[in-house]
Structure 1
Amino acid sequence: MSARTGPNGKPPVVGIVGIDGAYGRWFARFFRERLGLRTTGCDPALAASPTPRELLGQCDVLVFSTPIRHTAAIVDDYVQAAGGDEAGMLWLDLTSIKQVPVEAMLRSRAEVAGLHPMAAPPKIGSLAGRVLAVCQARVDRWQGWLAHMLDSLEADCVDVVPAAHDRAMALVQGLVHASHMTQARVLRALAADAGGLPLLHALRTVGYELDLTVTGRLLSGNPAIYEGIQFDNPHVLPVLRELAVATGRLRDCVADGGEDARRALRRDFIAEPAALFDAGELASRSHGFDRLGYLLADLAERPCLSVYLPEDRPGSLRELLETFEALGINLASIHSSRTPDGQLHFRIGLDALPVALDTLRKAVEDAGIGRVLEASDAAG
């Protein structure tokens, strides 16, 4: 068996349960375009979905990309439909918790691994720069193919057992999401009396802006995902209880207002938590916060130009900068980024312009270097 083929020496067919969901669509495209594999699947949103038995007969690898609360029952349906014929297959799941779905898949005769991409489906065709939790529960003959698939995803793969994964997710996801959901609720209740969101944003700190960015991301996402993370991971409730105790303790300190309460705040909420980290990590986190602040400042700079370079080749950026130099334009900042559609581009902050912004746009495009996606001289 090569890395690209399954145990039978042939490229496997991949079936995806939930193929019309966000990650179902993403992985279907990944398997087709990055691995050159044929994909099939079923989804409640699709009128002509195959039955579990039909899908099992069409594929060699079965991927469950389904809501957390329904995954175990769906897996059990496939175990029953397979009736033992799944022996020799590889079953994977993409659920945000791992113990329950992996245990469900282990009730089959298939080889089993649980996966958890630690990010929403990206706009690009890989998980480069993202973390992927990997729970290899029962993998033998499919080991080479699975390793090739994981390498092709380009993620930072972390091997972890399902129970440890779920305990960690109660903090990494459950605590973080709960904190931002409660912040959003407090803002909803109190922002108007404080001048409204426009004034709060005008008076923003870096911390406020970063927090509001995470909160906005959560509020614009699929509520079912955040609901599942809170309700369907049994380790989240103890975390929320601890959060409530800590918040109540902080409230009581502030309500007291005395010197003992101030000392308690410094001890209980700053000094003792800081002891969890070593000095080097605290310094690194503080520096990272400064870097994000500089990045936010750069991204707010006006005037600016966003340029897509269609040819990713040595010298493309140099040619672009030569155009700026010829027009006597000094750059204030430059960052590579991606548009909402995933298109790689350079966002360039500019000093005072000696030429009109439209002149600069025309010079870039006339030179055939790239395409201007956005140009703005509006105040930030």
Structure 2
Amino acid sequence: MTAFPGPSGVPPVVGIVGSQGAFGRWMARFFREQMGVQVIGHDPAGDSALSIRELVLQADVLVFSAPIRHTVAIIDEYVAAAAGDEAGKLWLDLTSIKQQPVAAMLHSRAEVAGLHPMTAPPKIDTLAGRTMAVCRARLDRWAPWLAHLLAKLQADCVDIDPLAHDRAMALVQGLVHASHMAQAAVLRELAPAAGGLPALHALRTIGHDLDLTVTGRILSGNPAIYEDIQFGNPHVLPMLERLADAVALLRAQVAEGGDGARTVVRERFLQQPAAWFGNDALAARSHGFERMGYLQADLQGARYLSVYLPQDRPGSLRALLAVFERLGINLASIHSSRTPDGELHFRIGLETLPVALATLREAVESDGLGRVVDARDDAG
């Protein structure tokens, strides 16, 4: 692989501050494998082969990948350690807020851009299918190299001002997380009397299932990340105050009851927001909701086969589907997803099964075509 050169005409050395963190490790692998550049790093959690000063001097590109609560202090420490020797280099950060980290990097003499990948470290080698905010704060000679980096990442990049980014994140992240954390607290208190999660799941709606999926994702993650998004973004508190006011108004109207209270709820929480969304956006969201419902129904089907194709090449899926055609098996659905280890699995829902499940499994696994990782026929 021929690495893309930096302003000096040679591939840059990339330094990662927080090289032992989840995103630091992902970025280090990306830079090495997808961009072909040398990567060095420093992390208080265990990577101390280089001192801060040595990292600053050796790295042409410095990437800050640290927890929100520590990022600004860390950047300030690197500015002091660099003492002007960072001039002509590029500093980047990957923080979920942008205004304060970008401002801190601008105290240096380096060129500066703030990045926010809107995802946890993915199981694939790029950010394809994900969104990334890009704050181009001070760029000149490094602009072509940054453009190459963004192209290689394959994210849907959105250029935005740091202040506008943080205001948006109070709603995109802060509001969503706060709502689901509050739901989780209420569920913990009230769900046991209703039979617990199993009883609720048995009576699930699409909306409940989707909400619980988001809640479960948050609760299974690193608590520090969700804490920092609430406490580290100054625009979250005003949002929470508006949210609290809205819930308080809804509570008051429900407690009051009567036609007047119903009118307030209908106008304030349904009609006025619907008019603000607009018909086109509402139609698109409603259609998306229905699609998720069909997806959930497919994934909960009682007759299916889940297959991993070890030969990742054109024609592999076609060869797999030919097995079903040969055995006279109609497919109800087919979906792909990745395991925590990054393997791409195909979950194939089956309408009928005219042969024994063991026969189908043997046919799929013959000649090394695929590996059946799960199979079930509970449809009676």
TM-score tier, shorter chain, comes to over 0.9
2 CA distance for matches of 1:378 and 1:342?
A: 28
Mean Cα displacement is larger for which, 267-276 or 177-186? 267-276
How many Å apart are 1:329 and its aligned residue? 1.2
- 8 Å CA contact retained: 2:19, 2:43: yes
1:37-85 CA distance string (max 9 Å, x none): 1101011111534221011122110000001111111001100100100
How many Å apart are 1:342 and its aligned residue? 1.6
1:281-325 CA distance string (max 9 Å, x none): 110100000000000111111221111223333332222122112
Q: Between the two proteins, what is the percent identity of the paired residues?
A: 70
- Determine the structure 2 residue equivalent to 1:31: 31
2 CA distance for matches of 1:310 and 1:47?
A: 35
SS of equivalent to 1:305:
strand
1:324 aligns with 2:318: no
How many Å apart are 1:379 and its aligned residue? 6.7
1:374 aligns with 2:374: yes
1:155 aligns with 2:155: yes
- 8 Å CA contact retained: 1:62, 1:90: yes
SS of equivalent to 1:119:
coil
- Determine the structure 2 residue equivalent to 1:219: 219
- Determine the structure 1 residue equivalent to 2:334: 334
- Determine the structure 2 residue equivalent to 1:363: 363
SS of equivalent to 1:40:
strand
- Determine the structure 2 residue equivalent to 1:313: 313
- Determine the structure 2 residue equivalent to 1:87: 87
- 8 Å CA contact retained: 1:336, 1:347: yes
SS of equivalent to 1:50:
coil
1 CA distance for matches of 2:103 and 2:94?
A: 14
- 8 Å CA contact retained: 1:127, 1:154: yes
- Determine the structure 2 residue equivalent to 1:243: 243
1:91-123 CA distance string (max 9 Å, x none): 000000000000000000000000000011100
Amino acid paired to 2:353 = L
- 8 Å CA contact retained: 2:113, 2:135: yes
SS of equivalent to 1:347:
strand
- Determine the structure 2 residue equivalent to 1:175: 175
What number of residue pairs does the alignment pair up?
379
- Determine the structure 1 residue equivalent to 2:116: 116
Mean Cα displacement is larger for which, 307-316 or 100-109? 307-316
- Determine the structure 2 residue equivalent to 1:21: 21
- Determine the structure 1 residue equivalent to 2:296: 296
How many Å apart are 1:3 and its aligned residue? 8.2
SS of equivalent to 2:92:
strand
How many Å apart are 1:232 and its aligned residue? 0.8
TM-score by structure 2 length?
Answer: 0.97
TM-score by structure 1 length?
Answer: 0.97
2 CA distance for matches of 1:67 and 1:194?
A: 38
Mean Cα displacement is larger for which, 178-187 or 50-59? 50-59
How many Å apart are 1:378 and its aligned residue? 4.5
- Determine the structure 2 residue equivalent to 1:203: 203
Superposition RMSD on alpha carbons, in Å?
1.4
1:140 aligns with 2:140: yes
- Determine the structure 2 residue equivalent to 1:254: 254
- Determine the structure 1 residue equivalent to 2:126: 126
2 CA distance for matches of 1:69 and 1:309?
A: 42
- 8 Å CA contact retained: 2:41, 2:47: no
Mean Cα displacement is larger for which, 313-322 or 60-69? 313-322
SS of equivalent to 2:328:
coil
